Every structure is written in C-alpha cells, then in structure tokens.
C-alpha cells in the first residue's frame, strides 16, 4: 500500500502527465471554401494550386547559443512567402531572416532531409557517402562524422531514417539566447487546399415532397504534402483574397485518393460557430489528409426535410428596358423546355455546395435525377435549384395580338402558351412570364387567374392532363408618360 504522501505525489504526477498529453501541441488547419474544379479531380490539369488555408503547426528546434541557420522542411508547395511567421516559445530565439525554397520534383523530398543523417548509394548499391545532408539542390552536399564534406552529383538513391517529406522548405537565420530544445509555432497561408459542401438528397415515396438529406464536407488536398492528425476548421463564406495566396509552380502529377480517416465517434458532428461575418465548422477530432486526396466528413446529421418540386416553364427575366420597347419583334417567342426545379428551407446554415438528388426507380433502387447548386443559405431561407429538363413536358409560346397607339402612349400585347404532357400522370406546370417592354404595365386579361403577380412577374399554375395539352392565354397593356416616349 502506498503511503498517503507518496500516493498524493503519484496522483499529482499522473494528473500532470494527463494534462501534458491533453495539452500536447497539434497542427491546426483552417480551410476556406473553394469551388476550383482542379482541386477535386484527378490529374494535374486545372487550378490545383487554388484554394486558401491557414496552417499553424508546432515545431521543435534544436538550438545552439548565438547566430545560426536552421531549415524547416516538409512544407506545402503553394506557400505565400510574405506571410510565413515563426514564433519561438519564451523568446528563446529571434528570426533574423528567412528564405523559402519552393519544393518541386525530387528536390522537394530531398530538401526535407537537410540536417538529417543520410546514406548516398551508387547504382551498384555501394555507399558513396554517409553523414549529414547539408544541401539537396544542384548535387548533394554531405558532411561525414570527421567534418569532411563531399559534393555528389551522380548517385542512384538516398537512404534515410523514417520517411521522406514532400513540399517546400524554409531556411531561417536565428539568434538564440541559449542552447537546447525550444518549442516553436510556424504559421502560414497556403494554396492547394480547399473545401466545399456536398449534399445528397433522396426523395421519399409518396405524393408529398420529402427528402432524406445528407450533408458532408468535401476536403481537397493538392498542396504537395500529407497532413496527419490535424485539427481542422472549415470556414463558410467568401472572404476577399486580393492577391494570389501562394507561388504557383507546376504541380507534379498525383494519383487521387478518395479516403478520409477521422479519429472520432462516427456520430460526432462539427461544432458550428460565428467568425466575424462568416460561419466556422470545427471537426470534433483530428483527421488525416493525404496529398492528392479528396476526403469527406459529416457536416450535419442526416435528416428528413420537406421540399417542393416544380415543373417550370419560364420566359424572359427581371430585366426592364430603359425606355418603352415598341418594336413588334421584341421577344416574340420562347423556349420549349420545361425545367424540373427543387426547393427546400434551410434547417440550419447551409454552406455553398452541390446537391445530388436521387429518386427510387420501379425496383426501389435510388437513381440520379439531377444536380443543383446550393448557395450560402442562412437558416430559415429557401434554397432553390434546377435539376434538368423534364422529358415528357414541353411548352410553346406564340404572340396572338399586338398593337401600339403612340398618341395614347399605350401598347397591347397578348400571348398563348401551349403546354403538352406525354407522361402517364397529370402534371401541374408553373408558368412564369416577365413583362419587360416597360416598367408600367397591367394584366388586361388571362384565361387562368395568376397565382402570383409582381412588378416584373406573372405566374400561373396550369394543370396539364396525362397524354394531353393545356393552354394559357393572357394579355398585357403597357402605358408610358410623354417624358418616356421612345425616340424614333
């Protein structure tokens, strides 16, 4: 049995060890949203250097007293050299100057070994040199235990303890107040990293529009280095970046991997907070982000949400002419396609991303029926998107009347819209018209009462029978003042 004082000491040591383990420094990575296609596709074509992230990573320095040069390797490929910063705990050392060496090709991997013991081999497998690697570019400089330095330009392989790191390296000249180990934090912004929301909606059976809604974050890493056990925070919104976030050398081709490894409870969700005018999502546990990968982590718990589906036939837009347009040929016809649209009310803040919509076929297997864009949507607001053109539905728009009375400063115009449905069930098609010859207009007549009317919109709900057609007739009268009379 441990005596009480010793037991107290043992508990204190255990508690201190536990706190040290909890407080152990970890690399933190803050990612900003990017829709750059090159980040999320295989190969090195496109803007793989896009995106914006801020990294803060702990480094342990082995210092000598006084002025000295140190090298920090294993950095990403697309760094901003003007914003790199190293802070040393306890002011143990001050940075006098720094130089960023951009990592490209094999020099990036060799550069990460500078300052470490290596063995350089010939093509026969025989060693050419053993010692500390001093330089990796334009030949290898290796210093052996006796202090002799060799320059090696022709070699077959380099062998070292542990694994090579890829990416850039940072050369620093520091002035240390004392010798020994010192803890430091290296912070920098980098490109080649980004994230965006990825949503999957599966329509549920039945007449009501309900959808199982899955929310994920897709995280792309094309930065030129692996990230292991990083604490990750995702920023939703669009802060301005006025200059390129990093140098942009050519990226070496990298095979894409689709894998995520989150070391946490699968039911744990990111913690959401406000960051100035943006939203932040902090993941509950560290994750691994291998170079050349697209990882996915949950953003919100999967849930069932109400939605609304619309078959939309729309002509024109919200543009209004700068003066009355009295030319007969102004917007005489329309398109033929009826667009399938979907909208839902945001149950929480929805960061921008793409919604992939599925519906069950006759055998009950979910099949892809369209993809739409969800923009940044605050909680409670409507998210609307188009999924594609409806196969069985068509529309036709023709002008049926037109007259201008310049003395009375009026213009009358009428249209007939014919909608057809080749499907085996009746459909309701939403027709949206935008009277845009002039800002002053009235609805003179319509065969169907409008469901909505605004200064730039007429909306009608038209029931179209299965295998049949339906028509909508309406007329609009424009009127303007003498000051607005169009010039010949």
- What is the structure's pLDDT at 260? 45
- What is the structure's pLDDT at 166? 56
Specify if 389 maps to a domain.
yes
pLDDT exceeds 80 at position 435 = yes
Tens digits of residue pLDDT in 342-381: 999 999 999 999 999 999 999 999 999 999 999 999 999 9
| Residue 12 and residue 5 in contact, taking contact as beta carbons nearer than 8 Å | no
pLDDT exceeds 80 at position 291 = yes
- What is the structure's pLDDT at 237? 86
- What is the structure's pLDDT at 24? 62
Angle subtended at Cα 47 by Cα 41 and Cα 51, rounded to the nearest 5 degrees: 95
Least confidently predicted of 46-55, 173-182, 445-454: 46-55
| Residue 349 and residue 377 in contact, taking contact as beta carbons nearer than 8 Å | yes
- Domains of the chain: total: 2
Tokens of 238: 């669009």
Specify if 448 maps to a domain.
yes
Specify if 89 maps to a domain.
no
Q: Give the percent of the chain with pLDDT over 90.
A: 58
Least confidently predicted of 79-83, 174-178, 273-277, 380-384: 79-83
pLDDT exceeds 80 at position 259 = no
- What is the structure's pLDDT at 174? 92
Tokens of 25: 């420094």
Q: What is the mean pLDDT of residues 314-324?
A: 85
Specify if 397 maps to a domain.
yes
Pick from 122, 138, 163: which residue ends a domain?
A: 163
Average pLDDT, the chain: 85
Specify if 28 maps to a domain.
no
Q: What is the mean pLDDT of residues 393-405?
A: 96
Least confidently predicted of 38-47, 70-79, 311-320, 444-453: 38-47
Distance CA 387, CA 342 (A): 7
User: Given pLDDT bands bounded at 50, 70 and 90, which one contains residue 195?
Assistant: very high
- What is the structure's pLDDT at 164? 60
User: Given pLDDT bands bounded at 50, 70 and 90, which one contains residue 7?
Assistant: very low
User: Given pLDDT bands bounded at 50, 70 and 90, which one contains residue 100?
Assistant: confident
User: Given pLDDT bands bounded at 50, 70 and 90, which one contains residue 196?
Assistant: very high
Q: Hey, which bits of 106-239 come out as E strands?
A: 117-121, 127-135, 140-143, 149-152, 157-160, 168-176, 180-190, 193-203, 210-221, 227-236
List the CATH number of the domain containing 446. 2.60.40
Q: Specify the DSSP element, H or E, that contains 72.
A: strand 66-75
Tens digits of residue pLDDT in 159-188: 887 656 556 778 889 999 999 999 999 999
Specify if 290 maps to a domain.
no
| Residue 227 and residue 74 in contact, taking contact as beta carbons nearer than 8 Å | no
pLDDT exceeds 90 at position 104 = no
List the CATH number of the domain containing 130. 2.30.30.100
Tens digits of residue pLDDT in 64-73: 999 999 888 8
Distance CA 404, CA 179 (A): 92
- What is the structure's pLDDT at 488? 64
- What is the structure's pLDDT at 243? 54
- What is the structure's pLDDT at 135? 79
Nearest 5°: phi and psi at 42?
-75, 160
User: Given pLDDT bands bounded at 50, 70 and 90, which one contains residue 403?
Assistant: very high
Pick from 100, 131, 163: which residue ends a domain?
A: 163
Specify if 323 maps to a domain.
yes
Specify if 248 maps to a domain.
no
Q: What is the mean pLDDT of residues 227-235?
A: 94
Q: Specify the DSSP element, H or E, that contains 22.
A: helix 4-22
Distance CA 463, CA 469 (A): 9
Bridging pattern class, strands 193-203 and 353-360? parallel
Going 124 to 128 to 133 to 137, the CA torsion angle's sign is negative
- 142 or 48: which leads in pLDDT: 142
| Structural domain for 147, as ranges | 113-163
**What percent helix, strand, coil does the chain show, rounded to 5?**
5, 55, 40
Pick from 101, 128, 163: which residue ends a domain?
A: 163
pLDDT exceeds 90 at position 98 = no
Least confidently predicted of 22-31, 164-173, 177-186, 400-409: 164-173
Beta carbons within 8 Å of 176's beta carbon, 6+ residues apart: 63, 64, 65, 66, 68, 92, 93, 182
Distance CA 166, CA 164 (A): 7
pTM above threshold 0.85 = no
């Amino acid at each position: 049995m441990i005596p009480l004082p010793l037991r107290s000491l043992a508990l204190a040591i255990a508690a201190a060890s536990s706190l040290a383990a909890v407080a152990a420094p970890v690399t933190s990575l803050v990612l900003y949203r990017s829709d750059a296609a090159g980040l999320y596709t295989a190969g090195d074509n496109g803007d793989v250097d896009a995106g914006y992230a801020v990294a803060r990573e702990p480094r342990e320095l082995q210092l000598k007293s006084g002025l000295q040069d140190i090298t920090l390797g294993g950095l990403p490929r697309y760094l901003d050299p003007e914003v790199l910063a190293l802070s040393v705990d306890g002011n143990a050392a001050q940075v006098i100057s720094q130089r960023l060496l951009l990592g490209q090709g094999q020099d990036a991997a060799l550069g990460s070994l500078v300052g470490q013991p290596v063995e350089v081999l010939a093509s026969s497998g025989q060693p050419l040199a053993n010692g500390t690697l001093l330089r990796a570019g334009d030949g290898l400089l290796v210093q052996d235990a006796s202090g002799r330095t060799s320059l090696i330009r022709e070699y077959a392989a380099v062998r070292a303890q542990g694994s090579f790191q890829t990416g850039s390296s940072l050369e620093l000249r520091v002035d240390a107040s004392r010798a020994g180990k010192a803890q430091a934090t290296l912070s920098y912004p980098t490109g080649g990293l980004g994230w965006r929301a990825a949503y999957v909606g599966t329509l549920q059976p039945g007449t009501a529009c309900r959808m199982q809604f899955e929310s994920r974050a897709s995280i792309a890493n094309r930065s030129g280095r692996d990230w292991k056990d990083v604490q990750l925070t995702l920023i939703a919104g669009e802060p301005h970046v006025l200059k390129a976030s990093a140098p942009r050398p050519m990226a070496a081709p990298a095979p894409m991997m689709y894998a995520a490894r989150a070391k946490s409870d699968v039911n744990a969700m990111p913690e959401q907070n406000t960051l100035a005018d943006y939203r932040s999502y902090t993941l509950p546990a560290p994750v691994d982000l291998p170079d050349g990968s697209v990882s996915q982590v949950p953003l919100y718990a999967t849930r069932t949400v109400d939605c609304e589906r619309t078959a939309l036939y729309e002509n024109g837009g919200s543009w209004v002419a700068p003066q009355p347009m009295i030319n007969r040929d102004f917007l005489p016809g329309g398109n033929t396609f009826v667009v399938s649209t979907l909208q839902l009310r945001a149950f929480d803040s929805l960061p921008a991303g793409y919604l992939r919509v599925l519906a069950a076929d006759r055998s009950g297997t979910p099949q892809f029926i369209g993809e739409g864009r969800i923009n940044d949507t605050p909680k409670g607001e409507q998210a609307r998107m188009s999924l594609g053109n409806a196969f069985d539905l068509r529309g036709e728009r023709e002008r049926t009347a037109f007259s201008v009375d310049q003395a009375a400063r009026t213009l009358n115009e009428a249209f007939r819209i014919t909608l057809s449905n080749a499907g085996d069930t009746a459909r309701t098609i939403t027709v949206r018209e935008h009277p845009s010859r002039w800002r002053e207009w009235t609805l003179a007549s319509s065969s169907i009462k409008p469901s909505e009317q605004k200064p730039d919109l007429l909306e009608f709900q038209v029931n179209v029978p299965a295998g049949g057609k339906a028509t909508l007739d309406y007329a609009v009268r424009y009127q303007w003042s003498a000051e607005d009379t169009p010039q010949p």
